Amino acid sequence: MPNRVFISHSTKDKDFVDNLVEHLRDHYIETFYAPRNMPGGRWEENLITELNNCDCFLVVLSSNSLESDYVKFEINTFLDISPEKKVIPVLAEQCPWERLHEKINEYQLFDYVQNPREANNRLLHEFGINPHIFPPVVVGDIKIPVFIFVGGDGHTKFHYRDIICEGPGILTDDSRVFTLEGDIQEFARSYIPKRQKECEEKSILFINNPQVRLNHVSWGASNENGGLDNRPLRLKLGWTSYYHTVVTNGMTHERLPDGSTIGQKYAADIDKIHDCRLSNPIAANMSIITKDNYIFFGIRSHKVQTLPGNYQPAVSGDGQPEDLDKNGVYDPFRTALREAAEECVGLLVPPPSVDDVTFFGLGRWKKTRFPFLFGEIRVDATANEVMSYEPTQRWEGERFSIPFTVESVTEWCVDRYQDYYNGRTSAASSASIFSLLQSLRYAYPDKWPEVIRRCTINHNSPS
């Protein structure tokens, strides 16, 4: 999958191109689209810079683009400076599209006139991605690329002993340890040393620690009042390692020798953990809320390997060997409390306990397939008191807080989402937005219609 796609188009085709760009973005394909992403300065210099930075050139073909001097300039420049890179012609309307450039008919056409659905699917396949079966989480106009297995509905809650874990057992039991497929092992042998060197040059921590792996999940039991309840949540667990995660969940877009991507070949459907042959470490993503009604989130430092400098929930981390009890059984509540101390509250007095932790459900990120438990921790302290304690792993990032009100949280989430939508940031703040909105949904269920209204965005207005 290319890292960034340049979108060449006529502004007169805005409706078609907006929909196309949104479709690509929904499938994690980053684009340079001038109406959203063009920086200030001289446009010609900016375009040449972007053409150099993009891995692929997508041109929208129409009678309007055939007459556009800008489109002609862009394709001529791209083919001059990057003849080895891919060109993707997309036909938006019937026209003599071959006239645009003498080489344009050398590339496979994606015909949105005759069969738009097939063209859409073929285009995603070109990028090594299968079309989504399940939609993302949507709040108003904010789209979050998460699939929720259970919970996230404003009333399902998992407290201590509502989550039953099997395993992972002792780390030396090879039957419980995830192993890489042969073709991924080949990729890992070349990629891991290269990535390790890159991290060393940037002072990024890159070590191969053990991680608790989610092998299978189920939930639900009969309810004392009749019907079914989502509790208990049952997790079947094994072991994996950070390096395995890096080359599977972290590289789902990587092409294998047979032409498929790691995601296409081994991820399986997103709702099927048991069929997935990726590393799948289980994580806990939690908000922290204080007694004076502030909610915390974090910004990852530039010393971490995954998404450095990006926003994240206040608590975000995978299961580790220290989160097991004496019988080798994983306890996600230990992960939540350990990560809370490391990333946010430090050695807070009084410290939060398992009774202060509430999980709302289990989800999975759509591209990487990372599974995670999500919820919140309520601490018996004010925001100022929390900030008076240093996190035990301060190097991982910085923590921030905002008032835990519908107005403040939705404003923050909309601003961050607008930054991504309009190209002011290269990566969405999806994890922090998801975490904050989930806490809002559970704390103020009667105000959820207002949350949706506030998250309905006019993208054409100043922001």
Question: Do 63 and 207 fall within a single domain?
Answer: no
Same domain, 197 and 235: yes
Dihedral of the CA atoms 310, 343, 218, 354 (nearest 10)?
A: -150
Domain count, the chain: 2
Range of the domain at 11: 5-126
Q: How far apart are CA 330 and CA 16, in angstroms?
A: 49
| Tokens at 162, concatenated | 């509502």
Instruction: Tell me what pLDDT residue 461 has.
Output: 42
Domain membership of residue 189 (yes or no) is yes
> Are residues 141 and 121 located together in one domain of the fold?
no
461 domain-assigned = no
Last residue of a domain, one of 92, 126, 160: 126
What CATH code is carried by the domain that includes residue 205?
3.90.79.10
Asked, for residue 427, whether it belongs to a domain, the answer is: yes
In a domain, 48, yes or no: yes
Together in a domain, 165 and 40:
no
Supply the pLDDT for residue 41.
Answer: 46
- Please, what are the averages of pLDDT over each run of 10 residues along the chain (463 residues)? 80 91 82 65 70 89 94 91 90 94 92 92 86 88 94 96 95 88 96 92 88 96 74 96 96 90 92 95 98 95 75 95 95 98 97 98 94 98 98 90 98 91 71 97 97 84 37
| Closest listed residue to residue 294, CA positions, set 374, 385, 405, 411 | 405
In a shared domain, residues 115 and 164:
no
Task: Name residue 391's amino acid.
Answer: P
User: Which of residues 106, 126, 146 is at a domain's end?
Assistant: 126
The CATH code of the domain that includes 100 is 3.40.50.10140
Q: Are residues 120 and 50 in the same domain?
A: yes
Judgement on whether residues 427 and 328 belong to the same structural domain of the protein? yes
Last residue of a domain, one of 76, 95, 126: 126
CB under 8 Å to 213, separation ≥6 — which residues?
168, 178, 237, 238, 239, 240, 279, 280, 281, 282
Residue 39, CB-side half-sphere exposure with 13 Å CA sphere = 10
| 283, 180: one domain | yes
Does a structural domain hold residue 267? yes
Does 459 reside within a domain?
Answer: no
Q: Is residue 132 part of a domain?
A: no
Q: At what angle do helices 69-81 and 43-53 cross, to 10 degrees?
A: 40
- Token readout for 456 is 């309905």
- 211, 322: one domain: yes
Let me know if residue 379 belongs to a domain.
yes
Tokens of 260: 């498929």
CA distances for 86 relative to 126, 390, 413, angstroms = 10, 49, 35
Give yes or no for a contact between 260 and 267, defined as CB atoms under 8 angstroms apart.
no
Query: Do residues 76 and 208 share a domain?
Result: no
